[in-house]
Amino acid sequence: MNIAGSVALVTGANRGIGRRFVDELLDRGAAKVYAAVRNPDNVKGTEFTDARVEVLRLDLLDDTSITDAAARATDLTLLINNAGITTGANLLGENDLAGLRRELDTHLFGTLGVIRAFAPVLAANGGGAIVDIHSALSWFSTNGANGYAVAKAAEWAMTNGVRLELAAQNTLVVGVHLGAADTDMMAGYDGPMTAPRAVATAALDGVASDAIEVLVDDWSRLVKASLANDPAEFYAKALRSA
């Protein structure tokens, strides 16, 4: 797919990776970018100055906002599912189920709701492409983020499923995996982090080359490769320190 001339929508566009997606799309010649955010009043007229950017409301937990966005962005050819959260939920703590449900409602059902709403729009415009931002945590778990890992694993499976279902309408579906990005969500993390713009660059390179999966960094590549091995090797250190 050619990014130049495309009409894109980016969820979670006001900061972090989403904001850098908007910049990268504009630099690559996108004809229009819908910057989808939960509260447009907080960003309109302050964050985006390029005339090709239109801010609209889209909340993954609000079905009406998703439907309204799809009715407005009828010229869409490229959908970037970037919006997400992290609650810090594990699986067995007293209050963890609420966090887990919020993670699943956002990453799985919210993202799927956006895809379901926009798939007919993409079909009407020739097929286009969808990019889903995942995580290396789609493929492993870590104490303190097990709820996030479950939700991202579910989202990964969902992406693989909709890819098959949308192939007939010529819609490319790209899953993008990364370790940590230098965003507000990762504040306090002291390991290696990828620049948000680098994530957008790698993802759009994948779209341009018709890739169905993009591994952004060394950590995502290492974790993906480990899936073919005995999991006892991968989790040995974590289990010893438990």
Q: How confident is the model at residue 45 (pLDDT cuts 50, 70, 90)?
A: low
Q: Give the C-alpha separation, 34 to 26, whole Å.
A: 11
pLDDT in the model for residue 69: 98
- pLDDT tens sequence across 6-31: 999 999 999 899 999 999 999 999 99
Q: Give the C-alpha separation, 152 to 135, whole Å.
A: 7
Q: How confident is the model at residue 180 (pLDDT cuts 50, 70, 90)?
A: confident
pLDDT in the model for residue 240: 87
Residue 54 β-bridge partners: 34
Average pLDDT, the chain: 93
Mean pLDDT of 32-44: 91
Task: Fill in the amino acid letter for 7.
Answer: V
Give the Å distances, CA to CA, from 34 to 132, 138, 173: 16, 27, 19
Q: How confident is the model at residue 186 (pLDDT cuts 50, 70, 90)?
A: low
Which H/E stretch holds residue 174? strand 172-177
Mean pLDDT of 32-45: 88
pLDDT in the model for residue 44: 64
The gap between the terminal CA atoms of the chain, to the nearest Å, is 47
pLDDT in the model for residue 184: 58
C-alpha 216: how far from chain center: 13
- pLDDT tens sequence across 102-159: 999 999 999 999 999 999 999 999 999 999 999 999 999 999 999 999 999 999 999 9
Reference 99, options 59, 145, 157; nearest CA is: 145
pLDDT at residue 187 greater than cutoff 60: no
pLDDT in the model for residue 183: 64
Which H/E stretch holds residue 133? strand 129-133
pTM of the model: 0.94
CB 153 within 8 A of CB 139: yes
